Amino acid sequence: MNFFKVKPTCSVEDNKYDVWTEIKKTKVKTKVSLYFLNCYSISYFGLSSVIYFFNKKLGILFFIISALIGISRIYCGLHWPSDILVGAVVGVFVGWLFVRLLKKASV
């Protein structure tokens, strides 16, 4: 998803160019990468929540691994903490929704 939020490693002050000028150059691949949600967080936290509903101990392990992946993305400067947090919340919600629909379908 793209919500016009500059990545931490692509700040305007460091690169000395205007972000909006770069956005207009859609055919040219640039260093400016704008997005908000982290797909890694959505995927891993979604998977972790599904596993947690069926096996609590293994689910907790998967949540810890998912959190470490999110922290590593922040540490490497690929995402802001809010990107990871919102991605985690969306992932858990999607996982919960998947399990709920799965249980409803099996009844």
8 Cβ contact list (under 8 Å, min separation 6)? 77, 78, 79, 80
Q: In this predicted model, what pLDDT tens digit does every residue of 24-52 receive, in sequence order?
A: 554 444 455 556 678 889 999 999 999 99
CB atoms within 10 A of CB 101: 10
Helical pair 39-54 and 56-75, crossing angle rounded to 10 deg: 170
77 Ramachandran zone, left/alpha/beta (phi>0; psi -120 to 50): left
Question: Higher confidence at residue 62 or residue 13?
Answer: 62
pLDDT in tens, 55-103: 999 999 999 999 999 999 888 888 889 989 999 999 999 999 999 999 9
Task: Give the pTM.
Answer: 0.70
Q: For residue 98, what pLDDT is reported? A: 95
Please, are residues 107 and 58 in contact by the beta-carbon 8 Å criterion? no
